[in-house]
Amino acid sequence: MNEAAITDLITRLADDALIIAHRNSEWTGLGPMLEEDIAFSSIAQDKLGHAQALYNILHTNFGQPDPDTVAFTRNEAQFRCCHLVELPIGDYAFSLIRHFLHDAAEWVRYEALEQSTVVPLAQLARKIKGEIKYHLFHAKTWVVQLGAQGNEESHARMQSALNETFPLALGMFEPSEFDGELAAAGIYPGEGQVQQRWLELIAPVLEQATLRMPLVEGADLAASYGGRKGYHTVHLQPMLNEMAEVYRIDPAAEW
């Protein structure tokens, strides 16, 4: 099996988890209510753990550096995260819609990865899925609450956040040159199939939230691609600089 295909897949998953964890943690102390501060922090901690575990697979099984080195010393061109996770937290409506769209995709991915022929990845997927279940439950509850059971303003804010976020969300499924190979080897079904299942998962929730899915039959929405090839938004490198500010004082030191 082509090792590059597997490491590319795991790097994408890990980088998404690390960057979204970092972004979600930025709500600490700033949430619309204390309970949401706490929820976003819990979710961030889980996702940081997922990133670390995925980098650990790369370290243990594929000869890559340790998780700290991988996470804290690479530059943006070496990252394979999608654009969706890179954006600053913005308004709560954006962070919530991102949380919903992103975690629904994670759910679909890890559900598929449970069957992966890469054993350590399949084992980890089972563990991670148990946590994503609650992340998605949290996201769905709030999306429906603010979409359908709030007021006119909350509905409008949610709909416009959804409209703005959707092209970025489609960027999560940027096709990979390894898709065919990964599917044939029973490692991962490929981004096309994952995107299809994702649409099926989010559609009934958006309907329940009385929100209109921006992707309509026949319309061509430009997906925000490039992240999986190392081309990123202007937000990633400054975030990485901030993340590594202390670590880079002395990367050889123990912190």
Partner 1 sequence: MYGNLSIVDTPAGQQAADDPELLAAFEARIDRGEKIEPHDWMPAEYRRQLIRMIEQHAHSEIIGALPEGTWITRAPGFKRKMALMAKVQDEVGHAQLLYSAAETLGKPREAMIDDLLSGKSKYSNVFNYPALTWADTAVIAWLIDAGAIINQHTNAKGSYGPYCRALARICIEESFHLKYGYDNVVTLATGTPTQRAMLQEALNRWWGPIMHFHGPPDKVSQHTEKLVRWKVKMATNDAMRQEFLDTYVPKIWELGLTVPDPNLRKNEETGEWEFSDPDWDEFKRVINGDGPCNAERLAVRRMAEEQGRWVRQALRKPNHAYVAPLS
Determine the residue type at 22: H
- Per-residue binder mask for partner 1 (CB under 8 A), 184-223, x = binder: ----------------------------------------
The 10 Å Cβ neighbour count of residue 255 is 9
Cα–Cα distance, 157 to 230 (Å, whole number): 31
Least Cβ distance, residue 106 to partner 1 (angstroms)? 19
Looking at the Cβ atoms of 45 and 193, the one nearer to partner 1 is 45
The 10 Å Cβ neighbour count of residue 39 is 20
Q: Angle 34-62/92-113 helices, nearest 10 degrees? A: 40
Q: Applying CB under 8 A, does 72 fall inside the site for partner 1?
A: yes
Residues of this chain, 39-58, that bind partner 1 according to CB under 8 A: 41-42, 44-45, 48-49, 51-52
- Token duo for residue 172: 């999560």
Least Cβ distance, residue 219 to partner 1 (angstroms)? 29
Residues of this chain, 93-112, that bind partner 1 according to CB under 8 A: none
- Burial code (b: 16+ CB inside 10 Å, e: under 16) for 110-145 equals bbbbeebebebbeebbeebbebbeebbebbbebbbe
Q: Applying CB under 8 A, does 233 fall inside the site for partner 1?
A: no
Cα–Cα distance, 73 to 97 (Å, whole number): 30
Interface residue with partner 1, options 63, 119, 216, 250 (CB under 8 A): 250
Looking at the Cβ atoms of 67 and 227, the one nearer to partner 1 is 67
Residues of this chain, 111-130, that bind partner 1 according to CB under 8 A: none
Looking at the Cβ atoms of 68 and 111, the one nearer to partner 1 is 68
Looking at the Cβ atoms of 102 and 157, the one nearer to partner 1 is 157
Interface residue with partner 1, options 3, 177, 200, 245 (CB under 8 A): 245
Interface residue with partner 1, options 9, 19, 57, 71 (CB under 8 A): 71
Q: What is the DSSP letter of 222?
A: P
Cα–Cα distance, 209 to 129 (Å, whole number): 24
Least Cβ distance, residue 216 to partner 1 (angstroms)? 27
Cα–Cα distance, 170 to 227 (Å, whole number): 12
The 10 Å Cβ neighbour count of residue 101 is 22
Q: What is the DSSP letter of 77?
A: G
- Token duo for residue 81: 């995260």
Looking at the Cβ atoms of 216 and 249, the one nearer to partner 1 is 249
Judged by the rule CB under 8 A, the positions of this chain that interact with partner 1 are 22, 25-26, 28-38, 41-42, 44-45, 48-49, 51-52, 67-68, 71-72, 91-92, 145-146, 150-151, 153-154, 157, 239, 242-247, 249-250, 253-255
